[in-house]
Amino acid sequence: MAETTGGGTDTGEGAVRLRKASWKYVGPGIVVAATGVGAGDLVATLIAGSKFGYTLLWAAIIGCLVKISLAEATGRWHLATGRTLFEGWRSLGQWTTYYFAVYVVIWGFVYGATAMSSSALPLVALFPDGPSLKTWAVICGLLGLAFVWFNRYAVFEKAMTVVIGMKFLIVVYVAIRVAPDLGNAVKGLAPALPDGSLLYTLGLIGGVGGTITMAAYGYWVNSKGWTDISWLKVMRLDNRVAYLTTGVFVVAMMIIGAELLHSTNIALTSGDRGLIDLGKVLEDKFGAVTANLFLIGFFATSFGALMGVWHGVSLMFADFVERLRRERGAAGASGGEDMVEEVAAGKREKSVPFRAYLLWLTFPPMGLLFLDQPFGLVIAYGVLGAFFMPFLALTLLWLLNSSRTPKQWRNGILSNVMLAGAGLLFLILCVQQVRDLPW
């Protein structure tokens, strides 16, 4: 990471005064924590806890440190260069544009249906005599669309703060309710690899909180009004809050998996439905109130991820379109004004591409709710999605060690080690995910 001393830095190219890190500024980190940990991440952690108890707790902690380094690199690129991440990708060659264009279209189409279904599952469990799963899914999609369409970042951040508060309090409450074995939990901090645990370990390190929302973090940083390097200390505090919060979720869910499932040999259904299974286990053991609270937390987790993607990835898509328009000199493309400043001013949230992608995330995927996903689409979605995290880690490593970044804000040894390690980890996970697809 770039070295700083006191309140600023002086590298011979001029001193930069860094603002004092303060809790009152924290915000984008809350958004990324609410978005990045979806229901699928919670199930993966639960299953790891149910199979291996507390043994892999250390891997979950390392995973949070990896994500801190990735998000810090993303935010530092935006602040140090005054350029958005897509501008950085574009400078590496047209291949990045082709990948992102295909990825954002196919991924958004399939993810939209997945997010709506995941948000609907706990509502069906909470209201068994109410609408069907598909109806709830459509309602959730429309609510997410309306909220993001009519509100700007400031309101969006406040709503996500409420979401993260619900998730935090409910998941921690349930973890305390199952009476964790603190002695075994402490032992789980020592690295160990039980037989058959390698893939679960890699998944815990690389999976939880690791999605395209990590790339969106830089855009939320700009939307907050942080547009230059003076905000670096503030961004770093904000980022640490994000992944410390994520760490609490992960540890709490592993406690639940270890205490409630591992000790009783209860198996969960894979995917988001595993949380419905857990709700039933909680009801049998602790009663309907605890089970319903957990289902509310499940809904907050899923719907928070939906709203976060609806906003963050739409911002990225709008930036992608605007960049291409400027390069091609399209009529009506704005000139001159810095693209980071436009994100900070909220212009992307009012743009046609932003709203077009919102519609793409909402309405076409509703068709998938009523149909089986086509085989080719499943394969394309799986391959493109698996490649995104290594793409992010390795391109950040490239950008932040090149002349594209001012010298004093380029990577230090620690950042290079973390990003290189993350890139290798995500490449291994990418290969494994592609191998596991139903070819």
pLDDT over 50 at 315, yes or no: yes
- Residues 281, 282, 283, 286, CA torsion sign: positive
Instruction: Give the model confidence (pLDDT) of 157-181 as tens digits.
Output: 999 999 999 988 999 999 999 888 8
Query: What is the chain's length?
Result: 439
Q: Are 276 and 48 in contact (CB under 8 A)?
A: no
Alpha helices in 127-231 (DSSP H): 133-150, 153-177, 182-187, 198-207, 213-223
* Burial (0-12, 13-18, 19+ Cβ within 10 Å), 184: middle
pLDDT over 90 at 320, yes or no: yes
* Stretch among 14-28, 101-115, 124-138, 309-323 having the lowest mean pLDDT: 14-28
Q: Are 181 and 259 in contact (CB under 8 A)?
A: yes
Q: Which of 303-307, 328-332, 367-371 has the highest mean pLDDT?
A: 303-307
Q: Span 289-303, mean pLDDT?
A: 92
Q: Span 101-126, mean pLDDT?
A: 91
Which stretch of DSSP H or E encloses residue 419?
A: helix 413-436
Q: Span 68-73, mean pLDDT?
A: 93
Q: Are 169 and 5 in contact (CB under 8 A)?
A: no
The pair of three-digit structure tokens given for residue 325, joined into one six-digit string: 């328009």
Residue 300: the pLDDT is: 93
Residue 208: the pLDDT is: 61
In angstroms, the CA 176 to CA 256 distance is: 9
What amino acid is encoded at 284 in this protein?
D
Instruction: Give the model confidence (pLDDT) of 211-262 as tens digits.
Output: 788 899 999 999 999 999 999 999 999 999 988 888 888 888 889 888 888 7
Instruction: Give the model confidence (pLDDT) of 370-397 as tens digits.
Output: 876 666 766 777 777 778 989 999 999 9
Neighbours of 348 (CB within 10 A): 25
The pair of three-digit structure tokens given for residue 145, joined into one six-digit string: 């669309």
The pair of three-digit structure tokens given for residue 317, joined into one six-digit string: 């898509």
Q: Are 307 and 144 in contact (CB under 8 A)?
A: yes
Q: Span 277-299, mean pLDDT?
A: 91
Q: Which of 48-57, 151-160, 188-197 has the highest mean pLDDT?
A: 151-160
Phi, psi of 282 (to 5 degrees): -65, -40
Q: Span 97-106, mean pLDDT?
A: 92
pLDDT over 50 at 7, yes or no: no
Calculate the average pLDDT of the chain. Answer: 86
Neighbours of 104 (CB within 10 A): 20
